[in-house]
Amino acid sequence: RFTGEGDTRVVVSHESVTQRRLMEDSLRESEARFRSLTNLSSDWYWEQDKNFRFIAISGTASVRAMPRDNFSVGKTRQEVHALMPSEYYINMNEADWSRHQAILDAHEPFRDQVFQQRGADGQIQYISISGQPFHDQNGAFMGYRGVGRDLTTEKRAEHELRLARERMSFLLSATPAVIFAREAAAPYAPTFISDNLLSQFGYEPAEFLRDADARLKKIHPDDLMRVLADLPKVLEAGRLSHEYRFLQDNGHYVWVREEMRRIRGSGGAHDEIVGYMIDIADKKRFEEQLLRVAHYDTLTELPNRLLFYDRLKQALAQAERNQWNTGVLFIDLDRFKVVNDTLGHGIGDELLRQVSMRLKETVRPGDTVGRLGGDEFAVVLSTLNRPEDARLVTQKIMQAFEQPFELNGREMFVTASIGITVSPVDGQDPDTLIKNADTAMYRAKDEGRNNIQFYTPEMNSRALERLELENSLRRALERKEFLLYYQPKVSTRTGKVVGLEALLRWERPGHGLVSPADFIPILEDTGLIVPVGEWVLRTACAQIEVSKASGFSPVPIAVNLSARQLQSGGLLEMVRRTLDDSGVDPALIELEITESSLMHNTEEAVILLNELKKTGLRISIDDFGTGYSSLAYLKRFPVDTLKIDRSFVRDVNVNEDDAAIARAIVTMAHQLSLKVVAEGVETRGQLAFLVENGCDEAQGFLFSRPVPAEKLQSLPEAYPVTD
Cβ neighbours of 271 (radius 10 Å): 13
Burial per residue of 126-146, b for 16 or more beta-carbon CB atoms within 10 angstroms, e otherwise: bbbbbbebeeeeeeeebbbbb
pLDDT at 545: 92
In 3D space, the residue among 92, 129, 80, 139 whose CA is nearest the CA of residue 109 turns out to be: 129
- Name the band, by pLDDT with cuts 50, 70 and 90, for residue 684: very high
In 3D space, the residue among 329, 341, 300, 336 whose CA is nearest the CA of residue 413 turns out to be: 336
159-215 tens-digit pLDDT: 887 877 777 766 666 677 888 888 877 667 788 888 888 888 888 888 888 887 888
Burial per residue of 393-416, b for 16 or more beta-carbon CB atoms within 10 angstroms, e otherwise: bbeebbeebeeebebeeeeeebeb
Is the CB of residue 25 less than 8 Å from the CB of residue 32? no
Is the CB of residue 558 less than 8 Å from the CB of residue 501? yes
Is the CB of residue 624 less than 8 Å from the CB of residue 665? yes
- Name the band, by pLDDT with cuts 50, 70 and 90, for residue 72: low
Element (H, E) at 202: none
Give the range with max mean pLDDT: 17-31, 279-293, 344-358: 344-358
pLDDT at 691 over 60: yes
- Cα→Cα distances 383→366, 367, 422, 453, Å: 8, 8, 10, 20
Least confident of 7-11, 438-442, 455-459: 7-11
pLDDT at 63 over 50: no
Q: Identify the residue with better confidence: 61 or 99.
A: 99
**Mean pLDDT (whole number) for 22-47:** 70
Q: At what angle do helices 458-476 and 516-526 cross, to 10 degrees?
A: 70
Cβ neighbours of 68 (radius 10 Å): 12
Is the CB of residue 414 less than 8 Å from the CB of residue 450? no
Q: List strand residue ranges (DSSP E) for 264-303, in order.
A: 272-279
Please give the Cα distance from 109 to 96 (Å, whole number).
Answer: 16
CA dihedral in degrees (522, 524, 530, 534; nearest 10)? Answer: 80
- Mean pLDDT rounded to a whole number for the chain: 84
- Name the band, by pLDDT with cuts 50, 70 and 90, for residue 152: confident
Cβ neighbours of 606 (radius 10 Å): 15
Is the CB of residue 385 less than 8 Å from the CB of residue 325? yes
Least confident of 82-96, 467-481, 517-531: 82-96
- Name the band, by pLDDT with cuts 50, 70 and 90, for residue 91: low
pLDDT at 151 over 60: yes
269 Cβ partners below 8 Å, 6+ apart?
A: none
178 Cβ partners below 8 Å, 6+ apart?
A: 193, 194, 196, 197, 200, 201, 276, 277, 278
Q: Identify the residue with better confidence: 90 or 592.
A: 592
**Mean pLDDT (whole number) for 145-158:** 85
pLDDT at 437: 93
With vertex at residue 110, the alpha carbon angle to CA 108 and CA 112, rounded to the nearest 5 degrees, is 180
Helices marked H in 389-515? 389-400, 430-446, 458-476
Peptide bond into 430 cis (omega under 30): no
247-269 tens-digit pLDDT: 999 989 999 998 988 887 665 55
Burial tier of 385 (Cβ tally within 10 Å: 0-12, 13-18, 19+): exposed
429-453 tens-digit pLDDT: 999 999 999 999 988 888 888 889 9
Please give the Cα distance from 676 to 621 (Å, whole number).
Answer: 10
288-335 tens-digit pLDDT: 777 777 788 889 999 999 999 999 999 999 988 888 899 999 999 988
pLDDT at 62 over 50: no
- Cα→Cα distances 610→411, 561, 606, 618, 636, Å: 26, 16, 6, 11, 10
pLDDT at 37: 60
Please give the Cα distance from 96 to 539 (Å, whole number).
Answer: 118
Type of residue numbered 371: R
368-395 tens-digit pLDDT: 999 998 899 999 998 888 888 888 899 9
Residue 500 pairs with which residues in a beta bridge?
488, 557
Please give the Cα distance from 681 to 490 (Å, whole number).
Answer: 11
pLDDT at 599: 64
Q: Identify the residue with better confidence: 151 or 81.
A: 151
pLDDT at 498: 95
- Edge-to-edge strand ranges of the sheet holding 89-90: 54-57, 44-49, 141-150, 124-135, 110-118, 89-90
pLDDT at 142 over 80: yes
Please give the Cα distance from 260 to 188 (Å, whole number).
Answer: 12
In 3D space, the residue among 137, 147, 136 whose CA is nearest the CA of residue 50 turns out to be: 136
| pTM recorded for the entire structure | 0.52
How many CA atoms does the CB half-sphere of 407 hold within 13 Å?
23
Give the 3-state secondary structure of residue 462: helix
364 Cβ partners below 8 Å, 6+ apart?
A: 381, 393
- Regarding beta strands 675-678 and 697-698, do their DSSP bridges make them parallel or antiparallel, or are they unpaired? parallel
623-661 tens-digit pLDDT: 776 655 556 667 778 899 999 888 889 999 888 988 998
pLDDT at 416: 92
Give the range with max mean pLDDT: 56-60, 111-115, 510-514: 510-514
pLDDT at 595 over 80: no
Q: What share of the chain is helix, strand, coil (3-state, %, to 5)?
A: 45, 25, 30
How many helical (H) and strand (E) elements, i.e. helices and strands, does the chain have? 25, 30
pLDDT at 65 over 50: no
